[in-house]
Amino acid sequence: MWRTVPNKTMSTAIALVTALLLAACGTAGPTRPGSSGGPLIWAVEGGAVDVYQDSVQRFNQSHPGKQFELQAFQNDPYKQKLRVAMGAGNPPDVFYGWGGGILDSYAKAGNVHDLAPQLQQDPAWATKFFPNVMESVTFDGKVYGIPMRGMQPVILFYNKELFQQHGVQPPRTWQDLLALIGKFRSAGLTPISLAGASRWTYLMWEEYLVERLGGPQVFHDVLAGKPGSWSHPAFIQANTMIRELVDAGAFGDGFASVSYDTGQQSALLYTGKSPMELMGSWDFSNILESQPDFIKSGKLGFTSFPAIPGGVGDPANVVGNTTNFYSVAEKSPHRADAVEYLKTTVMDDAYVDQLIKVGDVPPVQGIDAKLSHADNSDYLQFVYKLTQNAPNFQLSWDQALPPEQAEALLTNLEQLFLGKSTPAQFSEAMNGTLR
């Protein structure tokens, strides 16, 4: 039956199909990500996405002819999508980020616009934000981003009901914490909830211990790539203390398979299985969503990480995700409009009010009054004061470091928590990643 079709017709048909196929491959690549052709903003989905959307609409209304478009993505896919767009030299005009090492690498590749000159021209804009937060986007005097969300310091959350039952107070010093661990352990509880399967949860302990013991300079040396900087005594001592915690059963036996993404770490706290957890301030909104009664009945307690007597670091310092930032692409044809949008609309009064409404605490000066009228104002004010008074707000190390060092850090830290490596081995392995 094959012979019935004239050969020429067949070849033409096949050539056509092949051409279509190849053409389809060809056009999938270098098209612009936007649909309307106007300036494009990329952000990450989450509780505040309506705030971003509203600000875009307000800007578009007050600036006829400038039609910004916002696209929001899931967190993890977004990071890869942005990187691919950056690698292809084709990023959106405005993009969402976390500051730190990844932003620095985009800036070094010439993809991010330096906002320092514009900030200098407008002192009101420049002084609007907390300086300790702006450090996350400042490299060599150049500023590559503007805060657009709430701050996320790491906080010690505790279950007030369990603390009352056992007649104890939240820990103020490391010794208090150790005593609490012994007490709760003998009561059959897992003293501290820790979602080890997520790995970055381990890092919060390491960051605070090193910060309290050795101060900010210890990690700054690591960031600067100083040879042997992971062997600083603060690391050895912090990691020894971590081993002591694990060996004392502070995190229970099952922490290696507890996962943060499925909400288990917070669940251990509000179901009364664990009296304490160390977590970013966003956990408040998570608990408010999954167990609102726990917060409404006043059972959720929060305090800063305990002081370590004899440590060099200021006990007022905090670690965490400073905030999220909008950055402007260097090669964007809409650069001036993008800067105008950041300056006039992001973090204006309406924007700040809306953020506070969804439980965010923006790194903006002088909003105490706004916070005191909000729902859950005691918590919001606690976060605001904590970060405002912090001489140093250390960006999470996995964000601050370049990606390959961050990955090595999480891997080695996990080995330490699981008892597969010693503090000395940790320092040695990490020194090998410095460059």
Interface segment toward another protein; rule CB under 8 A; list 39-47, 63-71, 162-170, 254-262: 254-262
403 binds another protein (CB under 8 A): yes
Binding part of the chain for another protein, among 30-38, 58-66, 81-89, 139-147 by CB under 8 A, reads 81-89
Q: What is the DSSP letter of 271?
A: T
Residue 434 within binding range of another protein, rule CB under 8 A: no
Which of the ranges 328-336, 363-371, 385-393, 407-415 carries the binding residues for another protein, by CB under 8 A?
A: 407-415
User: Which of 127/259 has CB closer to another protein?
Assistant: 259
Is 217 or 415 the residue whose CB approaches another protein more closely? Answer: 415
- Is 57 among the residues that bind another protein (CB under 8 A)? no
- By the 8 A CB rule, do 56 and 69 touch? yes
Could you give the dihedral angle defined by the CA atoms of residues 49, 51, 56 and 58, in that order, rounded to the nearest 10 degrees? 160
CB atoms within 10 A of CB 264: 18
Task: List Cβ neighbours of 378 (8 Å cut-off, separation of 6 or more).
Answer: none
Torsion angle (degrees, nearest 10) of CA 318, 383, 71, 85? 0
Residue 183 interacts with another protein (CB under 8 A)? no
Smaller CB separation from another protein, 6 or 366: 6
H/E segment holding residue 19: helix 7-28
* Strand 276-280 relative to strand 318-321, pairing: unpaired
**Is 264 within 8 Å of 258 (Cβ atoms)?**
yes
| 77-85, 206-214, 227-235, 353-361 -> range binding another protein (CB under 8 A) | 77-85
How far is CA 96 from each of CA 44, 83, 354, 391, rounded to the nearest angstrom? 7, 12, 18, 26
For residues 91 to 110, the per-residue mask of contacts with another protein, x marking binding by CB under 8 A and - elsewhere, is: --------------xx--x-
Question: Which residues contact another protein (rule: CB under 8 A)?
Answer: 2-3, 7, 10-11, 14-15, 17-18, 21-22, 25, 80, 83-84, 86-87, 105-106, 109, 196-197, 199, 253-259, 262, 264, 267-268, 273, 403-404, 407-408, 411, 414-415, 418, 420
